[in-house]
Structure 1
Amino acid sequence: MNASAERTRHTPPAAPRRSWIGLLVTLGPVLLVAMDGSVLFLAMPSINEAIAPTTDQSLWILDIYGFVVGSLLITFGNVGDRFGRLRLLLVGASVFGAGSLAGAFAPSPEILIACRALMALGGATLLPSALAVISELFENPVQRARAIGIFAATFAAGFVIGPIVGGLLLSSFWWGSVFLINLPVVVVFLCTAPVLLREVRGTRPGKIDLASVVLSAGGLLLAIYGIKHVATYGIDLTHALIMVAGGGLLTAFVMRQTRIPNPLLQTVLFRERVFSVAILTGLLSLFVWSAAAYLSMTYLQSVLGYSVLASALYAVPGAVVLTLSSVFTPRLVERTGPRTALILCHLSMAGGVLLLLLTGAESGVAAYIASTVVASLGFGISFSLVADTAVGAVPESRAGAAGAIAETSNEIGNALGIALLGSLLTVVFRLTFPGDSTGIAEFIDEHGTGDPLFAEAQAAFLTGYHAVAVVAAATCLGLAVLAIRWIPRAGQDDTTPPATRADPQPARQNG
């Protein structure tokens, strides 16, 4: 038998049509999980009017979802290995649907925050299990790679189209519709998944370290709660101690990961510089994108007075560029290599957010659109390239852990951007606004746009908005410098000393 025939004999067969239908069904919940990280960006003014949350409650309504998903992604990856990915998918989709239904009719900010946390609990089960189930559908490695690429593109698209879908719904329906839209997709998935998908379990599932789960989730929530309260109301001893306690729990979490046999976070991977740059890119690109997207929606509606639908339509050019950038990034990497692509990613994000400095109280739509178009080039590169770069930078034996960390960095970055940069805007607003309101939405709810102090509120918001743009741009430029210094040029070896490598085996080179 010749070599060609031998290869043909050992090549797995092409996937049947049922596998592609199974992929399509599984992508529905994946899209929803990503969308719900951003779908409320345009809905918050309507929610503010309906249930009157405080400024920090508004930030929690947005943030709690990303924090819970990011904190539990790796945990539920292990749970799925032990108890079955398909079973976990079905349970997670049910919880996600229940949270969506309850959230649509939440009568108070506290209940809405709790419903968002419930949705996130379901969402955290969906992403790692969906990826494992999709991989199992395709034995052919070429088709499996294509399916995983479609999975990644769908997840990235969800973040981008969330605000647009929210704006379109809110132009005709009440704010709860942004949650009810989830229910048909969940119902279709629950009805078809048991028929189309197979159960998947890990061959050697690791033990779940509950102490690590508590330390990571508790540390994040305490630290961010303290930061938000201090930003909104000023510092006091109680909330200063809460921030310190949160930082202490996160420090204890990191130290614990270096000592236990089955860590949630494999800190040893961060000894590989290329991996570290990739994860920081995933974290900080979503950090910048989420804050810029949310605060820009507030700017268009609360400062310039545009409707929800108009604000959503102004976001479309950036969404188109981001989608095209994600699609064509693999071709860019083939021509230039990951180093140049990542540097271009960071520089375009920085240039894009700096254009927000041209926005004003009377006009600024053109600057906003230009900002989203330029920055979206970088965001698209990031969404497409980060996971592949992270996985390619570590040994094959640790590819799964690298992929999980990359997904987690996206979710945590999405939540941190709104929490930290949103809190920065709040601090600046409080320092520059002569009234008692802590944000422009709160001012409009209490006094309306006809109040003589509305111009002062607009100016205070813009000062904070521009401060956020400067900090975000500086963050992106710092990442560009890090990529230039730490990522080797094509044909050069990584300069990380061999003794600090994440694994004695040589790392696989990326594309």
Structure 2
Amino acid sequence: MTRQHAPTSSGGRRAWLGLAVVLGPVLLVSMDGSVLFLAMPSITAALSPTADQALWMLDVYGFAVGSLLVAFGSVGDRYGRLRLLLIGSTLFGIGSTAAAFAPNPEVLIACRALMGVAGATLLPSALAVLSELFPDPGRRARAIGIFAAAFAAGFAVGPVVGGALLGAFWWGSVFLVNLPVIAAFLVLAPVLLREVRATRTGRVDVLSVVASAGGLLLTIHGVKHLAAAGLSVLPVVTGSLGLATLAFFVLRQRHLEHPLIDFSLFRDRTFTVAIITGLLPLAAWSATAYLSGIHLQSVLGLSVLHAALLALPGAAVLTLTCVVTPAVVDRIGKKAALVVCHFTIAGGLLLLLPTTVTGGIGWYVASTVVTGLGYGISFSVVADTAVGAVPAERAGSAGAIAETGNEIGNALGIAVLGSLATLVFRLQGPDLAPTLDETLRLPDLAATALRDAEDAFVTGLHAAVAVAAVLHAALGAVALRLLSGPTAGDPGRNHPDEPELTREQLSGRA
């Protein structure tokens, strides 16, 4: 690996200042994945999107981030991580400004897509920078714990920030809040961070980038339309084409000298379970946060600020768990942490089942607190596992795999579980409009129709929650079985070329 201005100290003051600077865009990228959850009723009232447009406003950002993370992780490894961070931050600021003043749903969706592309440049390079700032495994694990806490805090406080801003300003303020952080990063990053790139890592395979992004978008497009409009030729064709494209992507990676995703990493059972752990919890979290936000506001009638404040206890638990998880993992190991993660989330999700059309606030708060423990474990363990699995020059690519799981999970949660809730509403609701919010906007809505719509929405919420809980319980059982024996990945899997001592160091016990 060729370094330009390598860090002068391992985990010294400059390294921690560099970490602080990197956390700004990390917080924004994750926060913008959830900031619209409580803002959607206000945006819906202002822009009047269709049900399909409303879902794209929410998840096109996650799809853009998730589908390009691996590609930009490789770009950063090849052409410079600091350069990519600066370009991405600039584009993120431009997209945020344009989104704040979007005149219609189409423009807002386009701006969210641009922000997603920019976000995809930031996360893998930011995580890779940590492997350079903190080459010592112990300090790197603590730094990644803080990184994961910032990433998790962004997701958790996104709805809170959105609710607080909407209590005083118009809906565009949820995007303009990004600009001061972006400006500070652009000023400080060139001073505190130093360019690092790898050599002999090959070119980025454009066809793989197109196949991964196109396959994801086509697949999810089919799923969303099947849920919203029922069985028809178009969604079946697009979904099937998307799955075929993703299969082509996977096969192509196996024949490339420098693939976007090194699937050999998945031979390690702990690494595999950890990456899946990066996807499923975000799917459950995003879907339940979005649907619960509608339940609190549109069904129970709470203000957006009140709903935001109810999310604070869970956000605090999630963030704190991210910080302390590295120390806990040193004692119990990654295997046990992964198992505890999934069973905790499953139990917390089930606490949402007692919610009704007339109550459930206490159950909602309890659910966010319990699941916050599991979510916090997942964020921290996944990031450290990915970065510790490869040599430093591949850190951007490996980190991108972990963040891809998070972002795709975030988008899939709304697209798949949100579509499941939409399907239940369409089948059991009053059949006046595709969604609850659209039904509530109908003039002269009868009381019986209103009650039927609210009942159908809560049933859809319960269906999504139950499916997510079952998936987590199943993955917890799989993790318990697969990780019961010794694996190379616990507590840290090193690259095959690295000596056994490094593997011990990665456990934090050297």
Q: CA deviation at 1:381?
A: 1.1
Tell me, yes or no, if structure 1 residue 248 matches structure 2 residue 244: yes
Tell me, yes or no, if structure 1 residue 263 matches structure 2 residue 259: yes
Aligned counterpart in structure 1 of residue 118 of structure 2, from 107, 118, 122:
122
Q: CA deviation at 1:126?
A: 1.1
SS state of the match for residue 437, structure 1? Answer: coil
SS state of the match for residue 358, structure 1? Answer: coil
Match of 1:327 in 2: 323
Match of 1:376 in 2: 372
Q: CA deviation at 1:355?
A: 1.1
Match of 2:273 in 1: 277
Tell me, yes or no, if structure 1 residue 412 matches structure 2 residue 408: yes
Q: Distance in 2 between matches of 1:398 and 1:98?
A: 30
Match of 2:360 in 1: 364
SS state of the match for residue 357, structure 1? Answer: coil
Q: Distance in 1 between matches of 2:232 and 2:148?
A: 43
Q: CA deviation at 1:327?
A: 2.1
Q: CA deviation at 1:421?
A: 0.2
- Alpha carbons of 1:382 and 1:467: their partners in 2 closer, same or farther (altered >3 Å)? same
Q: CA deviation at 1:400?
A: 5.5
Aligned counterpart in structure 1 of residue 157 of structure 2, from 134, 141, 161:
161
Match of 1:8 in 2: none
Tell me, yes or no, if structure 1 residue 48 matches structure 2 residue 58: no
- 1:71-470 to 2 correspondence within 5 Å? 71-137=67-133, 143-392=139-388, 401-447=397-443, 451-470=447-466
Contact 1:168 1:312 in 2 (8 A): yes
Compute the TM-score of the two structures, normalised by the length of structure 2. 0.91
Q: CA deviation at 1:457?
A: 0.5
Contact 1:48 1:445 in 2 (8 A): no
Q: Distance in 2 between matches of 1:142 and 1:268?
A: 25
Q: Distance in 1 between matches of 2:303 and 2:347?
A: 27
Q: CA deviation at 1:505?
A: 7.8
Q: CA deviation at 1:26?
A: 2.3
Q: Distance in 1 between matches of 2:68 and 2:366?
A: 36
Q: Which piece of structure 1 moves more, 346-355 or 133-142?
A: 133-142
- Alpha carbons of 1:87 and 1:114: their partners in 2 closer, same or farther (altered >3 Å)? same
Q: Which piece of structure 1 moves more, 235-244 or 331-340?
A: 331-340
Q: Is there any run of 5+ residues in structure 2 with no aligned partner, and where?
A: 1-6
Contact 1:274 1:390 in 2 (8 A): no
Compute the TM-score of the two structures, normalised by the length of structure 1. 0.91
Q: Which piece of structure 1 moves more, 253-262 or 446-455?
A: 446-455
Deviations 1:11-30 (A, max 9, x none): 97466644443332222111
Q: Distance in 1 between matches of 2:336 and 2:76?
A: 37
Which residue type is aligned with residue 365 of structure 2? I
**Greater relative contact order, per chain length (Cα 8 Å cut-off, separation 6+):** 2
Contact 1:272 1:393 in 2 (8 A): no
Q: CA deviation at 1:374?
A: 1.3
**What is the aligned length?**
495
Q: CA deviation at 1:398?
A: 6.5
Q: CA deviation at 1:52?
A: 0.9
- Percent identity at matched positions? 59
Q: Distance in 2 between matches of 1:433 and 1:353?
A: 24
Alpha-carbon RMSD across the aligned residues, in angstroms, is 2.6
Q: CA deviation at 1:358?
A: 0.2
SS state of the match for residue 356, structure 1? Answer: coil
Q: Which piece of structure 1 moves more, 472-481 or 384-393?
A: 384-393
Q: Is there any run of 5+ residues in structure 1 with no aligned partner, and where?
A: 1-10, 496-500
Q: Distance in 2 between matches of 1:481 and 1:142?
A: 30
